[in-house]
Amino acid sequence: MSNGDFTLKQLGYFLAVARYGSVTAAANAVDLSQSAMSNAIAELERSLGVQLLVRQVARGMFLTAAGELLVAKASRLLEDAEEVSAQVRSSSMLLKGPLRIGCYTSLVSTVLSAVLPGYMRRFPDVEVELREGSEDELLSWLRTGECDLLITYRVDLPADVTFTPIVTLRSYVLVSAEHPITRSSERALRELADTPFIMLDLPPSAEFFHGILNLVGISKSPRIRTRSTDVVRALVAENLGFTILTQPRLGLKDDHLTGRLRAFHLEEEVPTVDVGLARLASHVPTRRATEFQRVLEAVLPEQLTASEELFI
């Protein structure tokens, strides 16, 4: 019979078991006896009226479907409780506690390096944790509670994710300074139909860039796929192909390749893409996340735009 009468301490013990994979390891980690840990988990299961863990002698413990759901919910509940406690205790109401940020890989160098210093100086007691990855990886971390918010593109985001757009980017083409199109009066993407395509392959960018090519009537497989913007720029500089990018600072950064590369906007009408902040629609953001969004909105536009003088 479920009575719903459980404690935050029980939730904390349950999360420890989920993290360490066994009652013994969890009890050692939180400095509790094994029997007390087992009793706490059993009481939690009785209070909720569900089985949270499957216990197998030879293989340890596994989360049930209910247990997996509780992991994400409980971690956020405990954080909220800690934030309330910290705010009540602190007359200055300083922000404290963790902020777990996930960032799309290609945005890390241009965004986080500009946003984090200001945020961390303003809120020195916030414990910032960073993860970088593809969109699929970011969404997985968001749903498991390993990330509180994501800095990413709005490309095929699922319905359970809320997205706040901050900057809209136009796609552009990057070619070698030696490519004939740099001397042409017409710089349409279709003029590159016979030039190999070098793709920055970070899901879902592949689908997005293929969509642009198909839209202008170019149907081809990439000559090279890579997750490295440095490799993309190096190959393009050697006139081994062209690429399509969205972030000006990725293709047009000032380094030893700058003089060997040229960028131009597409003459064709192609989709733009938004960069912004994503979070689970079902979760109310903490003050830590809200303040981070304010800093991001102030800094991001400048970081992701470039002077028209850089384009031919």
94-168+275-310 placed in CATH 3.40.190.10? yes
Per-residue pLDDT tens over the stretch 213-268: 888 778 778 888 888 888 988 999 999 998 888 877 776 677 788 788 888 887 77
Q: What percent of the chain has a predicted confidence (pLDDT) above 70?
A: 90
For the segment 283-306, the average pLDDT, to the nearest whole number, is: 84
Please indicate whether the domains covering 94-168+275-310 and 171-271 agree at the CATH topology level. Answer: yes
pTM for the complete prediction? 0.62
Per-residue pLDDT tens over the stretch 182-196: 888 777 888 888 889
What ranges do the domains of the chain cover? 8-74, 94-168+275-310, 171-271
Per-residue pLDDT tens over the stretch 73-96: 887 787 777 776 766 655 345 678
The residue ranking higher by pLDDT, 304 or 138, is: 138
171-271 placed in CATH 3.10.20.30? no
Q: Which CATH class is domain 8-74?
A: mainly alpha
Q: Is the pLDDT of residue 4 over 80?
A: no
Task: Supply the pLDDT for residue 47.
Answer: 83
The secondary structure of the chain, three-state, reads CCCCCCCHHHHHHHHHHHHHCCHHHHHHHCCCCHHHHHHHHHHHHHHHCCCCEEEECCCEEEECHHHHHHHHHHHHHHHHHHHHHHHHHCCCCCCCEEEEEEEEHHHHHHHHHHHHHHHHHHCCCEEEEEEEECHHHHHHHHHHCCCCEEEEECCCCCCCEEEEEEEEECCEEEEECCCHHHHCCCCCHHHHCCCCEEEECCCCHHHHHHHHHHHCCCCCCCCEEECCHHHHHHHHHCCCCEEEECCHHHHCCCCCCHHHEEEEECCCCCCCEEEEEEEECCCCCCHHHHHHHHHHHHHHHHHCCCCHHHCC
